Amino acid sequence: MNSKDGLRRRTFQAQPLALLSSLIFLPAKNGLRHRETADGEASPQKANNPLSPSAAGTSSLAHVVLEERVQTRSAATTCSLVATALLLGAACSEPRASAPAGQAVTLFNRANAEVGKTLYDQAIADYGQAISADPTLAEAYIGRGVAYALKGEPDTAITDFNRAIALKPDLAQAWLNRGIAWRAKNDLDRAITDYNEAIRLDPSLPQTRNARAWALHLKGEDSKGLPDAELAVKFSPTEANYVETRAEILEALGQRDRALADYRTTLRLAPGTEAAIAGAKRLGAQSDR
């Protein structure tokens, strides 16, 4: 967006992930666990396509949740996605669904690992085989949608998220991921509608609070977005991306002191975050890095 409307757009660069993922690794026994992931964006201009790939880690428990924004950090730093890629090791919830046995689980988990290695075509093929083995596995549709999103194909991703929602309409991650895909298409109203449903289903997901806060910020509705930004930080106070989102909103609302404090906190948590450096400079803290 331009400077007239007061919203600061960030540039999604190739290295960080524009979407984050909570890839759900299914244990062979039972249960899906959803972990918290980070999201964020970068510098003060917004690019058209927020689905830029990046390297990400893997873990025995991962997730599939598209995250809204990508954090630009120092050149040596990689970021997370959905998505919004894979930042692993965050808190897991209790199992929410029974894992199917056998081949589908093996293929599903292998596909998740491939997403973490940015092997999206291989992941899409393995998710497809998992779906063939178990057509009721909604999480595989989410995973494949994430892979398509990371390839820059949000329309195909939305088709898979639609299928996941049809199979499991109570799965908050499906609604969140579809919302992020709508956001990638610059359809903020549809994105917010999906975020609303994800929050209704699971009010405690910080990713969704952050995603909705950012979408409202982009619409110029910062007063509406601030409560979500506050909750995202409350749920995950050490997640730099959420703190930086709140800083942007506070700055837009004219709360300069609080915004500057959040930019500084962001830089303490994630040194080199370009959006926070730019924000601190705008507010007169030229020496902040």
The contacts of residue 4 (CB under 8 Å, 6+ apart) are: none
Q: Which residue has the higher pLDDT, 42 or 142?
A: 142
Per-residue confidence at 137, pLDDT binned at 50, 70, 90? very high
* Residue 66 or 104, more confident: 104
- The pLDDT value recorded for residue 181 is 95
What is the average pLDDT value for the chain, to the nearest integer? 73
Mean per-residue pLDDT for 5-23? Answer: 33
For range 241-266, the mean pLDDT: 97
State the pLDDT at residue 81. Answer: 33
Q: Is 219 exposed, middle or buried (0-12, 13-18, 19+ CB in 10 A)?
A: middle
Q: Which residues contact 227 (CB under 8 A, 6 or more apart)?
A: none
Peptide bond into 83 cis (omega under 30): yes
pLDDT tier at 286 (50, 70, 90 boundaries)?
A: low
Separation between Cα atoms, residue 7 and residue 198, nearest integer Å: 25
Residues 237-241: what's their mean pLDDT?
A: 96
For the stretch 184-222, pLDDT in tens is 999 999 999 999 999 999 999 999 999 999 999 999 999
Taking domain 3-202, whether its CATH number is 3.40.47.10 is answered by no
> pTM of the predicted model, to two decimals?
0.72
Task: State mean pLDDT over 122-137.
Answer: 95
Q: According to the model, what pLDDT value does residue 118 have? A: 94
pLDDT above 60 (res 94): no
Q: What residue segments make up the domains of the chain, in order of their start? A: 3-202
Confidence of residue 26 (pLDDT cuts 50, 70, 90): low
CA–CA separation, 195 vs 211, rounded Å?
7
Place of tokens 């396509």: 49
Residues 232-239, mean pLDDT to the nearest whole number: 96
Q: Are 32 and 74 in contact (CB under 8 A)?
A: no
pLDDT of residue 228: 98
Task: Give the pLDDT confidence score for residue 285 in this predicted structure.
Answer: 72
9's torsion region: left (phi>0), alpha (psi -120 to 50) or beta?
Answer: beta
